[in-house]
Amino acid sequence: MKIVCELFDIPTAPMGGVNPLPQFRDRKPGCSKADDSMPDELKTDLGTITKVLPYLMQDRYNRKREVKGLKSVVLENEYLVARFLPEYGGRLHSLYDKKLGRELLFANSVIQPCNLAIRNAWLSGGIEWNIGCFGHTYTTCDDVFAVIMDDGRGNDFLRIYEFERNKSLFWQVDFHLPDGSPYLITHVKMINPFDKDTTTYWWSNVAVPDDGKTRVLASNKFVMSFVDGKCAYERLPYLKSFGDRDMSYPCNAPRAFDFFIQKDKEGESTWESAAYSDGVVMYERSTAPLYYKKLFCWGKHRAGDHWQEFLSAGEGTGYYAEIQAGIAPSQVHDKPMPKRSKYEWTQCFGGVKLEKGKLFNPNYDEAVEYFDKNLDGILSEKQINDLDIKLRELANLTPREQNLYHRGKGFGALEIMRMQKDGDAVAPTSMIFPVDTIGKEEELWLGLLEDGIIKEVSPRAVQISYMVSPKWIDRMLASLKNEGGYNWHSLLHLGIAIYEYHNVSVTARLSYSEEEETLQTNKARELWLASVKEKPNYWAYRNLAVLEKQVGDKDLAEKYYDLAIECEGAFDDFALASEYLVFLLGRKNYEKIWQIYTRLPQNCKEFDRVKITTAKSAVKLGKLDYLENFFIEEHHDIREGEVSLSDVWFEYCALKMAKERGIENPSAKQLDDLIDEAWDKYPPSKDIDFRMSADKQFRYRISE
């Protein structure tokens, strides 16, 4: 076995920084309604809260790709070649089987971020390691630490790791590919070092090629599915929630879908696989607590195909499904994690060729039994459990700094400095966070830690990081009493931290308290008003606008947005303009959108979300000339499930038909009828069609 660190040339649309505006969490847990089929134990811990902070949104990319040499780590033995990308969350980009002579994963031929994750940017392909909360992972398009380890017996392996700032957890993944192993071995360890309970989340997302005939088999049969806002419990393969189709075949999906495969018993080792018509099977197998599996597919329709191509190199490329594995029954379940505890498991990935007739047996149970017996001959439950015991020892080894190949953020080093100062925990020795990783993003907080204050800066200075942990809130409160510590900047950050605070020690449903939310809201409002009193700044005015919008006072929210855009530097960055236009769109204030758009500097007008929002306004105002170029431009900031472009297209076509027929000002009923006619007569070009279904009875949308 050998490990090589090398540059990997691949067409890449580079990341261009982060959105400086804090993205505040949902104020109430989101949850689908469970039906009577659901066992009571699966209703426990059902619910989730979308929480971005302290991370920032990654919306600074486009579709202009250039070949770039990305840092990569390659593990190879006589069976497999595995390539990892530490600049993109440690993603396993490819897993090539030398004996079978083929790629086992969907290895995307490009790096193309798209708006599908909790921080916006996301990539398709390979295997993604998801920790944090619902919505992929915070580091999916960000750096993680990567270090080459020595097991003490002359065998090297790769470790990736980071400090997860939302739940204050440390996590690592070890990758082993010893001589003689036909499968890649991974060992994950998550650590809560603090004397306080928390909650956590993990899903390993495996993208496998979908050739239209792919079949997915799994060790367990009962699934939880989420359709039309309801949560059902059924048995594979025929699922009523999907029209009694055999859902072991992704090609049977009428639209984008997923379902979660449940465990049978405690302690079991579970598996999931993707079988192909030539008899090749890509499989994964895992130990407890990585019990749960999932299948995701885009669905077989025009826009489903377009989404996959949009995430890849274009027409005819990018088709995949995802087989996933997690530590909770679904991705909208929290996983409680006790104080001073850890979760560990082993997961293996490999390929094998078997009898295709038995893999595609119409009797699903017999097909599962056939693969299960063959997998036992390769990697039995006993073998993977024994392997897990062995790898737990290696997972405790301490890295050497000189063997670090790639460095993540400096917040891990900063947190360790804080832990040492407060004496509230001890950092795990299996991860190292060099002090020299502390840079510009951490500078403000290093000053608070060492000097006891948040220093005042110009209101025009761009905010590049935030802290929302209770451990830092106490410091911010204390800083206001120190000399030089009471200023517009410190009041701004304290308000953000207090407003964003969320009790992560209990699951989402239990965490919500209306009384606590009211107290946080009132205190944050008070702090931000004090901030603008000290010095007018668009940061605090914007936060006040978001706060008032969330409590339901949209008139006051609009007033604060108006004050924000009049502050110095408000349009230095496009973030504020983009957000305000989206807010005005929700209020159907199309004239004001157009007025603000016309006064924006070019750097703001060029941002894709500004263009999309303005196009929605233009069609309502009948400014059809603006839309002529809009439809032929390439757009990148389209959210999964969003149908903005096709909606504008159909209304644009309807207005053109009205004009041709001499209808000057069509009524709402006339316009609806014309839009309905346009839906049939004038399908949008594929470039702007992101609908999850072309069925007029199922106009799937999240945009409005």
Considering its fold, how many domains does the chain have in total? Answer: 1
- The pLDDT, as a whole number, for residue 655 is 94
- Given this model, what pLDDT does residue 257 score? 85
Question: For residue 591, what are the contacts with CB-CB under 8 A and spacing of at least 6?
Answer: 621
| Average pLDDT rounded to a whole number, residues 369-389 | 98
Give residue 694's pLDDT.
55
- 629 or 702, which is more confident: 629
Does residue 528 lie within any of the structural domains?
A: no
pLDDT reported for residue 113: 97
- For the whole model, what pTM was predicted? 0.95
Q: What average pLDDT does this structure show over 552-557?
A: 98
- pLDDT > 90 fraction of the chain, expressed in percent and rounded: 83
Give me the pLDDT at residue 700, please. Answer: 40
pLDDT digits (tens, 9 = 90+) for 38-75: 888 887 777 888 899 999 999 999 999 999 999 999 99
pLDDT at 485 over 50: yes
Dihedral angle at the C-alpha atoms of 120, 122, 128, 131, nearest 10 degrees? -10
359-368 pLDDT, tens digit each: 999 999 999 9
Would you place residue 697 in the very low, low, confident or very high pLDDT band (cuts 50, 70, 90)? low
Strand partners, 158: 148, 175
Percent of the chain clearing pLDDT 70 (strictly above) = 98
What's 256's domain CATH number?
Answer: 2.70.98.10
Mean pLDDT, the chain, integer: 94
The mean pLDDT of 112-121, rounded to a whole number, is 96
**Residue 14 in domain:** yes
What are the pLDDT digits (tens) for 123-172?
999 999 999 888 899 999 999 999 999 998 889 999 999 999 999 999 99
Q: What is the pLDDT of residue 49?
A: 85
Residue 226, domain member (yes or no) = yes
pLDDT reading at 687 higher than 90: no
Name the amino acid, one letter, at 78.
E
Inside any domain, residue 552: no
What was the pLDDT predicted at 702? 33
In the block, tokens 């950050």 appear at 493
Distance CA 480, CA 452 (A): 9
Bridge partners of 284?
272, 349
At 212, the pLDDT band (50, 70, 90 cuts) reads very high
pLDDT band at 197 (very low <50, low <70, confident <90, very high): very high
Report the half-sphere exposure of 526 (CA within 13 A, side-chain side): 7
Residue 521 lies in a domain: no
Residue 632 in any domain: the answer is no
Pairwise CA distance, residues 386 & 187, whole Å:
13
Distance CA 695, CA 179 (A): 52
Long-range contacts of 168-174 (CB under 8 A, 24+ apart): 168/192, 168/194, 168/198, 168/415, 168/469, 168/471, 169/131, 169/198, 169/200, 169/337, 170/412, 170/427, 170/428, 170/431, 171/131, 172/395, 172/430, 172/431, 173/90, 173/129, 174/149, 174/391, 174/394, 174/395
Provide the residue range defining the domain that includes 178: 2-26+41-394
Give me the mean pLDDT over the 580-597 stretch. 97
**Cis amide leading into 178 (omega within 30):** no
360-393: string of b/e by CB count within 10 Å (b at 16+)? Answer: bbeebeebbebbeebbeeebebeebeebbeebee
pLDDT in the model for residue 693: 62
- 135: tokens are 């919505």
Residues 217-274 pLDDT 10s: 999 999 998 877 778 899 999 998 888 899 999 999 877 889 999 999 999 999 999 9
In a 3-state reduction of DSSP, which class is residue 468?
coil
**Structure tokens, 132:** 């944090």
Q: Please give the Cα distance from 565 to 558 (Å, whole number).
A: 11
Is the model's pLDDT at 701 over the cut of 60? no
> Does 263 map to a domain?
yes
Has residue 703 got a pLDDT over 50? no
In 265-308, which ranges are E strands? 270-275, 280-286, 292-297
pLDDT number for residue 34: 76
**Lowest-pLDDT range, 34-48, 213-227, 406-420, 540-554?**
34-48
The reply to whether 577 falls in a domain is no
